[in-house]
Amino acid sequence: MSDLNKLLGNIYALHFDELSRYLSRRTGAAEVASDMTQEVFARMVEQRASVEEIRHPRGYLFRAAKNMLVDNWRGGEGLAVELNEEAVCEMEDSPESILQRRETLAQLQAVIEDLPPRCKEVFLLHRFEDMSYIEIAERLDITVSAVEKQIMRAMKACRAALGEKKGRHN
């Protein structure tokens, strides 16, 4: 196996599941997400010569996926996401479930706001800017271990808040 094929295989193994979940959340359709994920990797393979020059493969893949989503939204050449009447009905929620999600979101926002500044910054960069631990460590000039600890701290606080909420409703 050539070094380039090995590199592509490693990138695929490391990022396929995460990219697929990301696209599934954005499209709301697992089959479409799977097709889009395959297409993102296919485009990367088409650019074989430049793959070795990509410094941040994860960032490259997610940027390509975001571009594909934008193309879909605009009706470009990407894969079309078709919604039938049944799918639209499944997406409609009851007022109660919408209210419950809004309350949960408000509670999580409050928890995130109460995190220590560095912990909050690390968490937001990872969750909302889609930055890897390594990218965050480089940007903030801290160790990857420190990033991991801050993410765990933030997640623990969020889980605790959600646990309290579940306990109240049961």
pTM: 0.44
CATH number of 93-169: 1.10.10.10
The secondary structure of 84-130 as a DSSP string is -HHHHHHH---HHHHHHHHHHHHHHHHHHHHS-HHHHHHHHHHHHS-
DSSP H/E element including 136:
helix 133-140
And the tokens for 141? Answer: 């000039």
Q: Which two tokens stand for residue 4?
A: 């380039």
Residue 129: φ, ψ to 5°:
-110, 0
pLDDT at 2: 64
**Higher pLDDT among residues 70 and 152, named by residue:** 152
Q: What is the pLDDT of residues 84-140, one digit of tens each?
A: 333 334 444 567 767 777 888 888 888 889 999 999 999 988 887 888 899 999 999
**Where on the phi/psi map is residue 116: left (φ > 0), alpha (ψ -120 to 50), or beta?**
beta
DSSP 3-state of 44: helix
Q: In the chain, where does the domain assigned CATH 1.10.10.10 lie?
A: 93-169
Report which DSSP code applies to 77: S
At residue 5 the predicted structure's pLDDT band, cuts being 50, 70 and 90, is confident
